[in-house]
Amino acid sequence: MVKLTQGAINDVMSKHPSGTQLHDDDMPGLRVVVGTKSASFKLVGRINDKTNRYISVIIGRTNEVTLRTAREHAAELRLALRRGEDPRRPVVDVPTLKQALERYLTARGDDIRPRTHQIYRQLFDGPLKSLHKLKMNTIDRETVRTLHESLTEKRGPYTANGALRVLKALYNDCARTHELPPNPVSRAVRFNKAHTRDWAVGADGLPALWQKLDAMENRTQAVVWLIMLLTGLRVTDACSMKWEHIDADGVLLVPSPKGGPDRSFKTPLPRMVRQELARIREETAKLESPYVFASRGKKYPYLQNIYRCDAFPYAPHAMRHTYRTAALEAGVDMQTVTLLMNHRPQGVTWTYVTRAQLIGPMREAQEKIAEAISRHRGMSTAPSF
């Protein structure tokens, strides 16, 4: 090591041959490297990231950077190395939560169903609104724990859990490309215990359900509810049905169910449903829409406003619960129910099953389930379909 001075730096090219390195005794790790055409300041130091490796960082040419500036910069670099930071990596601005959401939704694209997209937006613009402007690396454990406890008290356990699960997913997605601390949601939040919702309408409640369904003024919406009840389809799959996806044998293709296109499936429609679809097709022919339940509005191409109300106080997903329960009560085996509802089967054996070859048995089971549900319609006094 030598005592570097600014004067020595100015004369370094004339007094030292190429390849010479002059080590500064005032700043450990700082050196001057003499080349054939110029000399440069360089810092060599060990990074504190448990790899025990040395790295070198060029600070600048001696004819552009003064010795004093080089030492100041070297001191900053040494601090960064102690923190385990590699100063050679480009500084990437960590996005805010709002920016992370937009990036996530854009990257996932069509993999996220419209309804899931809508839920993310609702949770983001509601329960997570206070975090919009926070950079992802500043969201700490205390923040998320306090938010979850507050949401649980004010909005209920399900909303609190849903909002924090969205935050957890966005944080994990951001961590793919940015150096972030461990996910604060995983470490700080104790999710509220979820209880399975007892939504299935039993035999004693089905007559009342049929009465309300038959009395529904909007008959198009009534058919959507009927389809969910007799096929177990999710509300988005029922509303977004296209004519081209129903073949001549009454088998429906659901091209993008929950889980995306990779989970697409076919299911036979029961006779009662096929009869109602024939009527719908005749009534809506003038709309020339590819959708079975075409919307007359401009915002959405198919029917959207399917939700519980005073006249029909059942949740859309309750139809799916009712269908599954009725299927088992009717004696349909669980494997067939799993196929009809497009649940993911368990076990290696299912990888050898060709679903397309089971349409016949599935159709028989579908008719059996529809009959078991519709027999409770006998107490209805309103006009039938």
Two tokens at 180?
Answer: 């972030």
Identify the bridge partners of residue 96 per DSSP, sorted by sequence position.
135
* pLDDT at site 86: 83
| Options 3.40.50.720, 3.40.50.11810, 1.10.150.130, 3.90.180.10; CATH of 97-188 | 1.10.150.130
* pLDDT value at 383 more than 50: no
* pLDDT at site 259: 79
Structural contact between residues 172 and 296, judged by C-beta atoms closer than 8 angstroms: no
Q: How confident is the model at residue 380 (pLDDT cuts 50, 70, 90)?
A: very low
What is the value of pTM for the model shown?
Answer: 0.63
* pLDDT value at 64 more than 80: yes
| Options 3.40.50.2300, 3.40.640.10, 1.10.443.10, 1.10.150.20; CATH of 206-379 | 1.10.443.10
* pLDDT value at 384 more than 70: no
Q: Which residues make up the CATH 3.30.160.390 domain(s) of the chain?
A: 6-82
* pLDDT at site 235: 93
Task: Tell the CATH superfamily of the 6-82 domain.
Answer: Integrase, DNA-binding domain (3.30.160.390)
Chain mean pLDDT for the chain: 89
Reported as a single tens digit per residue, the pLDDT across 138-148 is 999 999 999 99
* pLDDT at site 2: 66
Q: Compute the C-alpha angle 238/239/240, nearest 5°.
A: 95
Reported as a single tens digit per residue, the pLDDT across 6-62 is 988 999 999 999 999 999 989 999 999 999 999 999 999 999 887 878 999 999 999
Reported as a single tens digit per residue, the pLDDT across 120-134 is 888 888 999 999 999
Q: How confident is the model at residue 353 (pLDDT cuts 50, 70, 90)?
A: low
Q: How confident is the model at residue 297 (pLDDT cuts 50, 70, 90)?
A: confident
Rounded to an integer, what is the distance from CA 3 to the centroid of its chain? 59
Two tokens at 152?
Answer: 């649980």
The pLDDT of 215-223, averaged and rounded, is 93
Reported as a single tens digit per residue, the pLDDT across 81-101 is 998 888 887 666 889 999 999
The pLDDT of 154-170, averaged and rounded, is 92
* pLDDT at site 127: 92
* pLDDT at site 162: 92
Q: Using CA atoms, how far apart are residues 279 and 88, in angstroms rounded to an integer?
A: 69
Q: In Å, what is the CA distance from 48 to each residue of 53, 54, 81?
A: 8, 9, 6
* pLDDT value at 316 more than 80: yes
* pLDDT at site 382: 45
Q: Where are the beta strands (DSSP E) in the chain?
A: 21-23, 30-34, 39-46, 54-61, 251-254, 265-268
Structural contact between residues 173 and 104, judged by C-beta atoms closer than 8 angstroms: yes
Provide the Cα torsion 58, 60, 66, 69; round to 10°: -60
Residues 6+ apart with CB under 8 A from 374: 210, 230, 272
